[in-house]
Amino acid sequence: MSLDRLWAGWRAAYVADHSAGIADATVTDGGSVFSRIVASGAPDRDTGIVHRGERCFAILNRFPYGTGHLLVMPYREVADLAELDDDEHTELWLTVRDAVAALRSAYEPDGVNVGANLGEAAGAGVPGHIHVHVLPRWSADSNFMTSVAETRVLPEALPDTWDKVTAAWPTPPATP
């Protein structure tokens, strides 16, 4: 069984537009979905990129488990932690640290999940481009919809989440 998501009616524009197709993870031309988003030239607020570093960036998950769900990854497409060079490794974990700080500041959650799915068998949706999930959690963030209907209710639009996270980011993001 898969977990469904329930989007509020006012989110129809997002679903219909789907960011002009740049979030289609099934397309393989031009690299991973993440690389295509970075290279799209679209404004960061439209793509969900909340932070750009020299070697790594953070982006909102388009299909979040909950409000504030971020993905942190290197620009270079590698599948595993062992493939990162030392500078990428250092910046990746510093960016994860900043992502946690931004989520704590923006949302005041009870906790934060941090994790990476390494390989398709581990659940990686984009196995060729490593990314670390960072998402805020609350003691009461599971409800009957998740438990009974296998559906998540997301109370905030992604552009609103982008505004909150970028405002709370510990270092100012570089916007193209």
The catalytic residue positions are 131
Going from the C-alpha of 48 to that of each of 2, 123, 153, 155, the distances in angstroms are 24, 22, 19, 17
Cα-to-chain-centroid distance, residue 93: 15
Measured between alpha carbons, how far is 176 from 167 in angstroms, rounded to an integer? Answer: 17
Residues 61, 133: contact at Cβ < 8 Å? yes
Numbers of helices and strands, H then E, in the chain: 6, 7
